[in-house]
């Protein structure tokens, strides 16, 4: 207070020990934020805690509590609805998206560290400014995020590595859309689906491991996505969930510029949701598709669906292909690694669907053998642009979105070299 702070955060234990009058006298003229923290669980008696906090006559009150699910976060965030003096903070490594959501639901503020994090799930201030642009203004709104802000997101497990928030929020900013796109670390899919209506989520991207699981929760699905058996994009219309697959578009746009697919042979590594989209895209374009996956049964099932073949790992080194495409997460930042050895790369072209890092170990091995490479950026941008257009109903600012993404990846690559 002596240093000029206009607000002081006083924990309820301190306030109860000293009493309201002594706290106010000691910190005057600063205004008081009376707070309660539970780093272990979400308390059951939230209304009673609010009353305890209000008894000390502060200018605002705050409850910060550990949340283990979106359902728990929803209970906490409801406390701020219609109450501009209430701050709610969902704590937990999975609560990054919920912290931003708290502002949209009415929380008076959110915490962002300028240096070291002080609680799980915090988003650094630099990232809040650069990625989420939460202080942008729309019309007469005093804040960049408000109850009218349309909410989008990406669900996955893990999801912290995703640069989808950077890509889509850059698109919103370029078109001056009152929207925000946040990451949801979803371990329990039914828990997330239950929150779509209450949080008024307008659409979301789907990544591993939910691309196939999400199908059972959809009200309708485009025929292509249904045939592929994997969805990476959901649009919410009047409370109904509609599924699409834009990975299909992304793979085609990225690879067809480099290869005459109708006369090419392609080996796919993996048989999950991304591999399914790639297999259908390539097979429909006329390519001869071969598939290897750690789970042979899944590889055989996918190969049968697209009229391709499933092969054994031992065959790869002795065969040649026009292209090899990695559809697995092996090599993903920060884990690293490669799904294939250098001696197994007998092809003209190697494509990795992973875009982070910009150059995976698989691509480095291919380059050392003089093989042409395609990073996952081309596919990632193409599928993201298609998603954005499904949600917005207009053309996406693709140039801006690509530029922002590449700048981030080059910056990250430079820091790794240092």
Q: What is the pLDDT of residue 404?
A: 97
Alpha-carbon torsion (345, 346, 352, 358), positive or negative: positive
140 is catalytic: no
Mean pLDDT of the chain: 94
> Quick check: is 351 in a domain?
yes
How many structural domains comprise the chain? 2
pLDDT (average), residues 351-369: 95
Catalytic residue among 24, 62, 177, 211: 211
Q: What is the pLDDT of residue 374?
A: 95
> Quick check: is 7 in a domain?
yes
> Quick check: is 55 in a domain?
yes
pLDDT (average), residues 385-389: 98
Q: What is the pLDDT of residue 293?
A: 97
pLDDT level of residue 50 (50, 70, 90 thresholds): very high
Would you state the torsion angle of the CA atoms of residues 121, 178, 207, 227, taken in this order, to the nearest 10 degrees?
A: 160
CA-closest candidate to residue 290, choices 252, 316, 318, 262: 316
Q: What is the pLDDT of residue 136?
A: 72
> Quick check: is 50 in a domain?
yes
Question: Residue ranges of the alpha helices (H) in 211-308?
Answer: 223-228, 247-255, 273-284, 296-306
Q: What is the pLDDT of residue 319?
A: 97
pLDDT (average), residues 386-415: 95
> Quick check: is 211 in a domain?
no
> Quick check: is 171 in a domain?
no
Q: What is the pLDDT of residue 117?
A: 84
CA-closest candidate to residue 76, choices 105, 33, 96: 105
What does the chain come to in residues?
418
% of the chain beyond a pLDDT of 70: 98
> Quick check: is 374 in a domain?
yes
> Quick check: is 240 in a domain?
no
pLDDT level of residue 133 (50, 70, 90 thresholds): confident
Asked if 168 contacts 197 with a C-beta cutoff of 8 angstroms, the reply is no
Distances (CA, A) of 119 to 103, 115, 334: 17, 12, 22
% of the chain beyond a pLDDT of 90: 86
Q: What is the pLDDT of residue 143?
A: 58
Q: What is the pLDDT of residue 197?
A: 96
Q: What is the pLDDT of residue 333?
A: 83
The DSSP-derived string for 17-49 is HH-HHHHHHHHTTSEEEEEEEESS---S-HHHH
pLDDT at 350 over 90: yes
Tens of pLDDT, residues 227-268: 999 999 999 999 999 999 999 999 999 999 899 999 999 999
Q: What is the pLDDT of residue 142?
A: 52
Asked if 71 contacts 46 with a C-beta cutoff of 8 angstroms, the reply is no
Tens of pLDDT, residues 310-349: 999 999 999 999 999 999 999 998 888 999 999 999 999 9
pLDDT (average), residues 145-159: 93
pLDDT at 159 over 80: yes
Range of the domain at 320: 259-378
Q: What is the pLDDT of residue 415?
A: 77
Tens of pLDDT, residues 87-126: 999 999 999 999 999 999 999 999 999 988 888 889 999 9
pLDDT at 221 over 90: yes
CA distance 361 to 340: 10
pLDDT at 358 over 70: yes
pTM over 0.85, yes/no:
yes
The β-bridge partners of 205 are 154, 233
Token pair recorded at residue 325? 């495409």
**Domain with 363 in it: what CATH number?**
3.40.50.720
pLDDT level of residue 282 (50, 70, 90 thresholds): very high
Question: Residue ranges of the alpha helices (H) in 236-375?
Answer: 247-255, 273-284, 296-306, 313-316, 361-368
pLDDT at 140 over 80: no
**Domain with 29 in it: what CATH number?**
3.20.20.70
pLDDT level of residue 146 (50, 70, 90 thresholds): confident
Q: What is the pLDDT of residue 138?
A: 58
């Amino acid at each position: 207070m002596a240093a000029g702070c206009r607000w002081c955060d006083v924990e309820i234990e301190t306030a109860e020990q000293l009493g309201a009058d002594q706290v106010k006298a000691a910190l005057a003229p600063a205004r008081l934020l009376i707070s309660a923290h539970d780093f272990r669980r979400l308390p059951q008696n939230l209304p009673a805690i609010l009353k305890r906090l209000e008894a000390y006559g502060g200018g605002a009150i705050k409850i910060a509590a550990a949340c283990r699910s979106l359902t728990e976060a929803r209970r906490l965030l409801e406390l701020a609805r219609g109450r501009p003096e209430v701050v709610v903070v969902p704590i937990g490594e999975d609560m990054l998206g919920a912290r931003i959501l708290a502002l949209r639901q009415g929380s008076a503020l959110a915490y962002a560290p300028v240096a070291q994090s002080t609680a799980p799930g915090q988003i650094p201030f630099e990232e809040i400014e650069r990625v989420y642009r939460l202080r942008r203004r729309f019309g007469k709104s005093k804040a960049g995020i408000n109850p009218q802000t349309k909410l989008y997101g990406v669900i996955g497990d893990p999801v912290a590595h995703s640069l989808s928030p950077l890509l889509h929020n850059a698109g919103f900013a370029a078109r001056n859309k009152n929207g925000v796109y946040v990451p949801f670390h979803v371990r329990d899919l039914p828990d997330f689906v239950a929150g779509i209506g209450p949080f008024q989520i307008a659409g979301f991207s789907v990544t591993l491991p939910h691309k196939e699981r999400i199908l059972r929760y959809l009200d309708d699905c485009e025929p292509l996505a249904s045939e592929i058996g994997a969805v990476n994009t959901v649009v919410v219309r009047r409370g109904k969930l509609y599924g699409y697959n834009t990975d299909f578009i992304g793979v085609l746009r990225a690879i067809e510029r480099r290869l005459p697919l109708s006369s090419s042979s392609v080996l796919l590594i993996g048989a999950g949701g991304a591999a399914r989209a790639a297999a259908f895209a390539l097979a429909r374009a006329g390519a001869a598709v071969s598939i290897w996956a750690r789970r042979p049964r899944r590889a055989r099932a996918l190969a049968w669906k697209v009229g391709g073949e499933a092969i054994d790992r031992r065959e790869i080194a002795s065969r040649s292909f026009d292209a090899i495409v990695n559809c697995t997460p092996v090599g993903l930042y920060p884990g690293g690694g490669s799904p294939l050895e250098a001696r197994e790369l007998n092809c003209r072209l190697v494509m990795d669907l992973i875009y982070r890092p910009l150059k995976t170990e698989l691509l480095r091995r291919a380059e050392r053998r003089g093989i042409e490479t395609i990073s996952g950026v081309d596919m990632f941008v193409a599928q993201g642009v298609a998603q954005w257009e499904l949600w917005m109903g207009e053309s996406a600012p693709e140039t801006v979105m690509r530029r922002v993404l590449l700048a981030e990846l080059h910056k990250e690559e430079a820091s790794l070299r240092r």
